Chain A
Amino acid sequence: MGRKLLLEHAQVPGIHTYEVYRKNGGYRSVEKALKTMSPDAVVEEVKKSGLRGRGGAGFPTGMKWSFLAKPEGVPRYLVCNADESEPGTFKDRYLMEKIPHLLIEGMITSSFALGANTSYIYIRGEYSWILFILEKAIAEAYEKGWLGKNILGSGYDLDMYVNIGAGAYICGEETALLESLEGKRGNPRIKPPFPAVKGLWQCPTVVNNVETIAAVVPIVNDGGDEYAKIGIGKSTGTKLISAGGNINKPGVYEIEMSITVEEFIYSDEWCGGIKRGKKLKACVPGGSSVPILPHYLVCKTAAGEDRLMTYESLADGGFATGSMLGSGGFIVYDEDQCIVRNTWNFARFYAHESCGQCSPCREGTGWMEKVLHRLENGAGKMSDIDLLVDVAKKIEGNTICPLGDAAAWPVSAAIRHFREEFEWHVNEPRLCMERNYGLVGETQIV
């Protein structure tokens, strides 16, 4: 069994209530930080921990915090990004539903470190019932003196509120989130200025993912060095992985970032293997945006080394033969799944979610969706395959926010690794309506 820092008490009955959470060691990090540490000392521990943003980008959290501008007389904000919408990802939901106080505790400690006196949790609109779980927990925290004026007699004041979205993937992008929090359409902003300088209402703002903020709790409790002992290289600590697709045990798992992908997929402790005894065909290890890996690159890197559940190992080989840890949305495909159909499905998702600001993304995502749709339905041409690669290339890097990249990567990766399957769809227009191509590299057609 690996160490659990976030979900250690997730199964304790009543852990969502203040009393039970507190009895299990809750709010110690707030006591420690406010009574014995300076804000900068907390930032220092987070830097030492090596914690990286858990929302998908993996940017070092301590460094992000140190960019926060601190002009006199201007309020600073901490905003929690709980707009979890990356297909395949449902870890933050689990954490907030099960242990809402862990997020609130992390928010208080982090807000103290950043000198924020007001903080917001921006949660996606569809998680409406969790909004009320969080608000109840916040009310409890106020009642017990962990929020409000002069917390623990330290002189530090903090107010915390939850803001709800209304259905828009783009609001998970931090500047779109801030626009939405200001009550506008979720159109990402041009950077610079970055939120650390001009964020919410043009004030310095840090936006962090739910899991990132929760991880600050064990980091402050045990020290950044202790946290950094877990994991390998620059992948320190534990990571929540939400596993779905064709596996026996879908769910949310907390892993130490040192186990192998093979263990994660096949061990009964985690995914428990492929459903119905089928074979593995492909895997999207970090949410729909990251490149898909064919079965022969899932458990081993191109160099033949064991692939690990770490930022570096999953990215080993670059986009040619690797992928990304991303948000930890781990999607497993068995031999019966159609890669063309899945790629079309994701393309439709991005076309639907494009905010429409930038032409390459607005036009390109819809274009890719149409081309993939005709390929999937037996009406595609051989030239469509290279057309897709071309369109994807023209979106990538040419948009204000990373949604364009996120839409382009799955398409180009699917063609890179499964080109034969796309060709089969062109060559066998009738067959592809009736059955799937099966496993790449094996002659058997399912």
Chain B
Amino acid sequence: MHTTTQNGTPFKYSSAALAEVQGLTKKYPEGRAKSAILRALHIAQEENQGWLSVAAMDEVAGVLGIKPIEVYEVASFYSMYNLSPVGKYVLEFCHTGPCAIEGAELLIEYTKLKLGIGKNQTTPDGMFTIKEVECLGACGYAPMMQVGEFYHEHLDAGKIDQFIEDCKAGKIDKGTWKMH
């Protein structure tokens, strides 16, 4: 549960993102721009180092022409929005049933010990955050985690070691929420 919000530094969409968000509103009938909110928030989160500050949410409200509270109540409902700062790489491990019986819990413990952090914590160098999330729809390819846009499946300790090395070497593609 997200319980706190933080103001953060001033936030404005980049001009490309602003154009994209304004374009999104065209997918809905007139006066229904609010429907673009979820994607608009994903884009804002990406442009705000992976989390939604009050400043970022206010920007979304302004662009969509809705009240800030309408954005806060949505942002606090959905689990993919981070309402406090996160690391550069957010490791979102699935720990629901099918992943759990294929060893997800042990793997999460292993990763926590390796990085020296608990869930929802970030390493001191700001590189990694661990989140435990519910079923991501990869039950046949368990255990797995999501990092940015992509899934990493059939994981084991060795693959976690390699993944962390690759992150440090800047070799991991997190993808982007912006137009492909």
Contact = CB atoms under 8 A, between A and B. Distances in A.
Nearest to A185: B77
A148 interface: no
Given A242-B139, A250-B140, A288-B97, A164 B134 contact: no
A342 B37 contact: no
Interface stretch (B4-12, B98-106, B111-119): B98-106
A331 B139 contact: yes
A126 B136 contact: yes
Interface stretch (A6-14, A83-91, A255-263, A395-403): A83-91
A342 B139 contact: no
Contacts of A252: 140
B13 to A, nearest CB: 17
B98 A132 contact: no
Contact of A349 (B64, B97, B102, B138): B97
Interface in A168-194: 168-169, 180-186
B105 to A, nearest CB: 9
Given A164-B39, A167-B79, A183-B37, A127 B137 contact: yes
A85 B39 CA distance: 19
A310 to B, nearest CB: 22
B154 to A, nearest CB: 10
B134 A352 contact: yes
Contact of A87 (B35, B70, B98): B98
Nearest to A203: B29
A87 B38 contact: no
A62 interface: no
B139 A88 contact: yes
B149 interface: yes
A86 B135 contact: yes
B160 interface: no
Interface in A304-319: none
B180 interface: yes
Which of A85, A87, A355 lies at the interface centre, i.e. has the most chain B CB atoms within 10 A of its CB?
A87
Nearest to B27: A161
A326 B34 CA distance: 33
B120 to A, nearest CB: 14
A150 interface: no
A353 B1 CA distance: 11
A349 B96 contact: yes
A251 interface: yes
B139 A163 contact: no
Given A89-B139, A252-B140, A353-B134, A337 B80 contact: no
Contacts of B64: 183
Interface string A60-80: 000000000000000100000
A385 B64 CA distance: 50
Interface string A334-373: 0001000110011001001101000000000000000000
A115 interface: no
Contact of B175 (A129, A164, A288, A346): A129
B123 interface: no
A165 B78 contact: yes
A88 B98 contact: yes
Contact of B135 (A243, A251, A349): A349
A251 B140 contact: yes
Given A88-B139, A333-B101, A182 B34 contact: yes
A342 B97 contact: yes
Interface size, A (range): 35 or more
Contact of A164 (B38, B136, B137, B146): B38
Which of A90, A180, A183 lies at the interface centre, i.e. has the most chain B CB atoms within 10 A of its CB?
A183
B96 to A, nearest CB: 5
Contacts of B38: 125, 163-166, 180, 183
Contact of B98 (A181, A244, A341, A355): A244
B155 interface: no
Interface string A178-218: 00111111100000000000000100000000000000000
A329 B139 contact: yes
Contact of B39 (A88, A163, A333): A163
A163 B35 contact: yes
A129 B146 CA distance: 11
Contact of B97 (A125, A167, A181, A331): A331
Given A166-B81, A342-B100, A185 B73 contact: yes
A22 to B, nearest CB: 22
B129 to A, nearest CB: 15
A129 B176 CA distance: 9
A38 interface: no
In the complex, the 6 A-B pairs of residues with the closest C-beta atoms, listed nearest first? A250-B140, A166-B78, A167-B79, A183-B34, A244-B139, A167-B80
Interface of B: 27, 29, 32, 34-39, 41-42, 64, 66, 70, 73-74, 77-81, 95-98, 100-102, 133-142, 146, 149-150, 175, 177, 180
14 contacts: A88-B97, A125-B78, A129-B149, A163-B35, A167-B78, A168-B78, A183-B35, A185-B73, A245-B139, A246-B102, A251-B140, A331-B98, A345-B97, A355-B77
Given A89-B139, A288-B97, A342-B97, 20 more contacts: A84-B137, A85-B137, A87-B139, A88-B139, A90-B141, A125-B80, A126-B133, A128-B149, A165-B38, A166-B42, A166-B78, A181-B35, A183-B66, A184-B34, A186-B77, A242-B139, A250-B139, A250-B141, A345-B95, A346-B97
